[in-house]
Structure 1
Amino acid sequence: MVLRIFGLSIVVTILALIAAFFYGGTTALFLTLILGILEVSLSFDNAVINATVLRRMSEFWQKIFLTVGVIIAVFGMRLVFPLIIVWLGARLNPVEAMRLALNPPTDGSQTYEQIITDAHPQIAAFGGMFLLMLFLGFIFEEKEITWLTWIERPLEKIGKLDQLSVVVASILLIITAEFIAPDDERSTVLFAGVLGMITYIAVNGLGELFNNDDDDDPDESADEHAQAQRTPGVDDAASVADAELRRSGPSDLAKAAGKAGFFLFLYLEVLDASFSFDGVIGAFAITADPIIIALGLGFIGAMFVRSLTVYLVRKGTLSEYVYLEHGAHWAIGALALILFYSIGTHVPEIVTGLVGVVLILAALVSSIIRRRNEPADAKDHIEV
């Protein structure tokens, strides 16, 4: 299974490295490899979150995400997106932006890298707000299983207040614009942050709306059928285990298809873009060459993140290691705050990556300890 899932990513990596070598020799090959490793190391939380959404989608939409979604991730976010920023920021069309990137000016005029860097405040505000809304939505909802119970349970209680996520996110955005953003970027940060919030509410809301419309009846009938077939006294342990599985993802009958699947796909793409913003900007600390960035972040990094996502879904890893989802969301919350803070102060990419990796590893260790200390079918509600 491992070879089947990661095989294509390995082949694409080899081809990307060969292309980098022919493009710019050993230097380009080395930079491409570094960027690929950087993207994968920074995207563990992205893969976990992708997996939590992907397993809710029908097989058709999973394939769309792994095909069309890869094209969008590789070419859209890692190659076209920086060119669009230059186009909007410097009023250069994509062809001129590519020419500027490949031939840096020597007369002191604005470079491709400087244009991308100057756009960081609005990019960070949009991506940070989208990720913050995702984190708050998770942390304020009631959950059968908690990881950091001492803080998650109180947050669940206050989360019963209507639209609390919007209130908290708005307050943090105002604080960011007022005290962190440069004076000449305040209005831009506010606008981009509000746009990020609207995008999250619209895409996530539409996905849930169509998912409920499409799946309520089949899901209910499936539950009724399972209850009718249940043998009292025999299936108690199995039903407990099934309850935990349902907590972590709907049944096959409830997998999102049609409009629901489309909006979940759209949600995943926006989510991937929000994760990608920081990586794309950070790549310029290594190289400003858009071809090398596309090869490293896109063809190597994005492909491996997709493969890791598929692996988590196919192996049922999130159901076995139940705190991974929690750790990923806490990593998202940390990343959102880092993006806000980075609007006024540069944050090294290594810090961003380590925060996410530490939280994911802590959640993984907690999950392993939980599996060792508790029988597989003992509980569906566990607090630590």
Structure 2
Amino acid sequence: MALDEESARTGVPVWWVAFAMAVDKLRAEYPEDFSAWGVNPDQRSGTVWFVGAVPEGVSDRFAGIGGVTLRGDYGVKEIVYQQFASDLHRELTEHLGSLATFSTYADDDRRVIVVEYGRSVAGDPVTKRTASLIEQATEGLALPTGFAVEYVPMDVSLIAAPELLHGARVIADVCTGAFPVKRKGGNELGILTAGHCPGTGSYDGTPDAFHSPYPYSISTESGPGGGDFRWNHSKYGLSGLTFVGHGRPLAVFNSRAGVTSGVHVCGYGKTTDRKCGNVAACDVNTTATVPDNGVTYIVGGLCRMQAAMTAPGDSGGPWFVGSTAVGVHHGRAWPGGPSAFSRVNNALWKTRVNLVIDAAGNTIP
């Protein structure tokens, strides 16, 4: 992943970014062997697991990163338990139509499939009877090897929280959010932003606003379908509205589209506010060096503007044409160069989310 002169100042642990990018490549190259990965609380070390033995030569992939432990004999492929979590969500939806808020996901580090449930359609906390029905619906299911199911009631303070968060507000004081999103096939809500921005922290002044990063929530890739983006799993409801500039009404982005050179687009960032200009070129690849370890990354699929019109802190902000979402701000196309953004279509596809258009969590495909 490229860290340009803007994104490198966000204060995000660059080790984490380098590790995540290496894992993305490893997952693609070893689909039958790859099992799981995790980042330790220090954000400077982590572990990668494999179904059986660690494939020969894999350790060389992490030689320039450091702090990585490789382990074998996990016993199950990542795609198997991730698919189980997705199928379980559909199963619960059929049995528990009265629930408006619940989600399922795999915590591969602890080897559990988490079922997190919240309030009913009426807005009340889930009753003991409904919680019992959730557990009954999972009885007898063939779990992935070594996994168990864990039932977690959502924190009461979060269930009752009145906050509805908007898109494009400040993330952890160092980045800008982009559009409100919802996970495909699930109820998890979040804020789209840049991949090099924090995955946890405060949002619009609300402390500890996000859950731990959701699986597949970050993608930093080269090539025409690539880009620099992630979505942060919100603990709060989303309004479906996005901030697009001081003194301007909040906007709903009810469509998304690709862009090409010559298109006039506008963007918002916490540092420079609203700005507009013409796209100079797309499918731009940029290369930069991570300051802490000297590792060089390539990000592709970027669209660059004709001029530099952004500054540190704008990273992750939205780019748009009218009510159509087109991009997520990356930084500069090269050090000292013009501003550049990732295509929103790539971001939504790679991170498996859709744009949210209202407080009910409705989305556009």
What's the TM-score, normalizing by structure 2?
0.27
Structure with the higher helix share, 1 or 2: 1
What's the TM-score, normalizing by structure 1?
0.26
Structure with the higher strand share, 1 or 2: 2
- Give the greater-gyration-radius structure (CA): 1
